Chain A
């Protein structure tokens, strides 16, 4: 019995070329949107990852009362309990002056836990010679490459350091250079002097467990808020202040927001192109069937039934096409991601010398936002593109429709 569904299925199956052509526009459109949204998200993720990878962290925990140090233990323990946290590392910053008279430079003596930094920051990857100082290295330091050049020191040399203790007394030490670090940051490399956090505590007379702040790395950038919320719930708010990178760095927040906004402009253009293409293919396809609708009208199909038939066919083709497009989009994004992403230097960003150690690979991300955007844009346009011309054809007299070429 030829129910409307059976006719719709027969129509679709009997005209595979028509179904493939209309589907192709939808598949390409969905794939393009999922990929482009994925690229946008990936770009933002790359930007955030690179920005938070050195001094910022996804989340920072410091003193709620403005104290120079906080106990690190409770924060590190809380971080270990939170699934959204990938790593946590104490940081103790000490203002310092490095070098002898005539070659002295302002420096940032930064106490780090080398083992924890591996899961938290990019520093372990930025060592170009030697290593980061560990607790066993005593009075050892890893210098920024530019600072080492300015001071004319190399690995194995000793460098005099003057610094402020937590009680604002002047202290001094001679630290052995055990490594050179190149962050690529013009601001950081001429000032950076990394020591173990234990050495930093000793030098600045900090309490045993003291640290200036604890940097937290979230599993993904999207986990930032969840990680911060979980830490806030676990830490005493009268002692600890928990802030996300958005709160710590309004500049970076603005930059990411600007990037989203500007790429969204490109996406809107893509949406318009995809929308128009899908609508055009669908409208042409349906208008070509005007004569067929005339036949249906002649054998007694009401205009409503003709439109229902077209809607059913459109839904059948659209469901398969949108599903295929979304799947293909996810597949392309996943494959590009698994292959390591797109090297933005190859794509025109040749002058990234300053980004040494940072990640120049743009990895698109599968996101529900991308999937819903593609679905929300393409599916309605495809349905409307099918139903509107069918409504128009159904309103014609049967004879006018039959005369249609």
Chain B
């Protein structure tokens, strides 16, 4: 796996609960090279979202380790992890997770500013990313004024505009019609072509047809 941008070695995640522990992810090892566009497939509950959150450093693994650019994702302090997410990782969530008080443009430019600093012209980058996803006319709308599909595209625009080295997308086309989904996939592919490693967790066959390779998960384990 040498030379990979992202490496996971025997990643496991166990959640405690009233009915005992539940293993969400078990001994997952994988590698992603810069510029790769990879699909993460599997049925609901197979551990796709958990893997995305561990690789994104949103929560620590129970065991195992993931490295990004050679650095352990979970080893940094909370501020250090946040800074690394800002500078290297773009995340697209299943539930969009836009800030309700901000407009579409502000949501995107806030992430850009956080990633690239205030001198990176976040507003211009936000406009550019929104335009790439066909959201030119929705820049000043708040999430509550957008459809689910439009919100999802804003979330994708936010992740793309940050110019990440790694983009982790969880069901990015779930709320989209085919035309919008194609636009999103085009944008993700373009990002990969510029050297970003892109992992898309999805059920969507249309997505899986666009990726370079697919990693299949079932019951928290990678299927051969």
On A, residues with C-beta under 8 Å from B are 1-3, 7, 10-11, 13-15, 291-292, 294-305, 394-395, 397-400, 402
Contact = CB atoms under 8 A, between A and B. Distances in A.
A298 B59 contact: no
Given A295-B98, A297-B58, A301-B114, 8 more contacts: A1-B123, A3-B118, A15-B100, A292-B100, A299-B86, A397-B59, A398-B58, A400-B59
Given A1-B118, A2-B106, A2-B110, A298 B58 contact: yes
Nearest to B112: A2
Interface stretch (B1-9, B76-84, B173-181): B76-84
Contact of A395 (B78, B101, B115, B158): B78
A76 to B, nearest CB: 69
Given A299-B158, A300-B83, A303-B82, A402 B93 contact: yes
Contacts of A7: 102, 106, 110
Contact of B110 (A14, A299, A304): A299
B101 A298 contact: no
A395 B110 CA distance: 21
B87 interface: yes
Nearest to B126: A2
A299 B106 contact: no
Interface string B94-125: 00011111100010011101110010001100
B139 interface: no
Contact of B97 (A14, A295, A300, A305): A295
A11 B83 CA distance: 23
B199 to A, nearest CB: 16
A300 B109 CA distance: 13
Contacts of A400: 59
Contact of B59 (A10, A14, A15, A399): A399
A301 to B, nearest CB: 6
Contact of A398 (B59, B87, B109): B59
A7 B100 CA distance: 11
A399 B58 contact: yes
The 4 closest A-B CB pairs, nearest first, are A300-B86, A14-B101, A399-B59, A302-B79
Contacts of B111: 299-300
Nearest to A3: B118
B162 interface: yes
Contact of A14 (B58, B60, B83, B142): B142
A26 to B, nearest CB: 20
Contacts of B60: 397
Given A11-B101, A14-B102, A299-B162, A2 B82 contact: no
B53 interface: yes
Contacts of A10: 101-102, 106
A2 B102 contact: yes
Nearest to A294: B97
Contacts of A301: 82, 86, 114
A302 B58 contact: no
Nearest to B116: A300
Contacts of B115: 299-300
A396 B20 CA distance: 22
Contacts of A1: 109, 113, 118, 122-123
Nearest to B54: A399
Contacts of B165: none
Contact of B109 (A2, A297, A302): A2
Contacts of B101: 10-11, 13-15
B72 to A, nearest CB: 16
Contacts of B57: 398
